[in-house]
């Protein structure tokens, strides 16, 4: 594990609560996992009690409806944690995890983590806070599904991705989200075609430029306005 990895890990809610010594001890238990683009880490319905933190690359969490349609819960980048639900609540996974780009993950098993939860209350409290934040975010997304139209949701999704993966440049805010328009559509709960049209419309207005698996946001303010 590189220094950079250690740095990324320390930003995850799980490690935030630990002092240098504790973090070091916990790090000793992580198993590193590497995935190629498109490779799946685990599938909906499987049992599993491992939690992961993204070290490098991007992972998507997806659900499949009975009739085979897909729904993208979220896209996670470096420092973000997932898979913890099955750890706190021992049930089959309710989502699949698939690599959006080549990526490296830090994995921690139930047995490695349990002593930290029971022996270090600060850790549990930090995790409670992290889950509470997630619940809030999820409720926000739900409200958007009900109240906001597809272009609005696309705008919001882009801004969210920009916040986490965006890189400012002289020409605009470069968001290399690595998602196909199909995946973007699954993320906002719409069809690929309507998402495409929304993007084309934004581009025609000069708010952004479309690139392969990326957009360059030219007018953040307009986009933000459209998202509400």
Residues within the interface to DNA (CB under 7 A)? 149-151, 180-182, 189-194, 196-197, 199-200, 210, 212-213
**End-to-end Cα distance, the chain:** 42
User: What is the Cα–Cα distance from 58 to 68, expressed in whole angstroms?
Assistant: 23
Which residue's CB is nearer to its own copies, number 24 or number 147?
A: 147
Other CB atoms within 10 Å distance of the CB of residue 157: 24
Q: Rule CB under 8 A: which of 1-30 touch its own copies?
A: none
Tell me, rounded to whole angstroms, the distance of Cα 71 from its chain centroid.
Answer: 13
Q: Which is nearer to DNA, 68 or 119 (CB)?
A: 68
Residue 142 CA to residue 148 CA, distance in Å, equals 10
Applying CB under 8 A, does 225 fall inside the site for its own copies? Answer: no
**Separation of alpha carbons 22 and 104, rounded Å:** 23
Beta-carbon contacts of 92 under 8 Å, excluding residues fewer than 6 positions away, are: 44, 45, 46, 47, 48, 86
Q: Report the residue number, 118 or 167, with the smaller CB distance to its own copies.
A: 118
Instruction: Confirm if 61 and 82 have CB atoms less than 8 A apart.
Output: yes
| Residue 11: contacted member of its own copies, DNA, none (CB under 5 to 8 Å, by partner type) | none
Residue 85 binds to its own copies (criterion: CB under 8 A): yes
Q: Which stretch binds its own copies (CB under 8 A): 46-54, 98-106, 112-120, 165-173?
A: 112-120
Q: Which two tokens stand for residue 8?
A: 């990324």
Nearest distance from residue 220's CB to its own copies, in Å?
19
10 Å Cβ neighbour count for 142?
10
* Rg, Å, the chain Cα set: 18
# residues contacting its own copies (CB under 8 A): 41
Per CB under 8 A, contacts with its own copies among 170-209 are 189
Residue from 28, 119, 170, 212 touching its own copies (CB under 8 A): that is 119
State the residues that interact with its own copies by CB under 8 A: 63, 65-67, 69, 71, 73, 84-85, 88-89, 91, 94-95, 117-119, 121-122, 124-125, 127-129, 131-136, 138-143, 145-147, 189, 228
């Amino acid at each position: 594990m590189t220094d950079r990895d250690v740095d990324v890990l320390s930003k995850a809610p799980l490690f935030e609560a630990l002092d240098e010594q504790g973090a070091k001890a916990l790090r000793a238990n992580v198993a590193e996992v590497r995935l190629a683009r498109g490779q799946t880490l685990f599938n909906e319905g499987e049992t599993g009690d491992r939690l992961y933190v993204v070290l490098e690359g991007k992972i998507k969490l997806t659900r499949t409806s009975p009739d085979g349609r897909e729904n993208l819960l979220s896209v996670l980048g470096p420092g973000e944690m997932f898979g913890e639900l099955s750890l706190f609540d021992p049930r089959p996974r309710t989502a699949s995890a698939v690599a959006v780009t080549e990526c490296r993950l830090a994995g921690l098993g139930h047995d490695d983590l349990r002593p930290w939860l029971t022996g270090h209350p600060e850790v549990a409290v930090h995790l409670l806070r992290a889950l509470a934040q997630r619940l809030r975010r999820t409720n926000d997304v739900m409200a958007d599904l009900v109240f906001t139209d597809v272009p609005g949701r696309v705008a919001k999704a882009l801004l969210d991705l920009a916040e986490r993966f965006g890189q400012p440049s002289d020409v605009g805010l470069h968001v290399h989200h690595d998602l196909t328009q199909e995946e973007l559509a699954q993320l906002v709960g719409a069809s690929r075609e309507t998402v495409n049209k929304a993007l084309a419309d934004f581009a025609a207005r000069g708010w952004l430029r479309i690139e392969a698996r990326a957009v360059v946001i030219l007018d953040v303010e307009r986009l933000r306005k459209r998202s509400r």
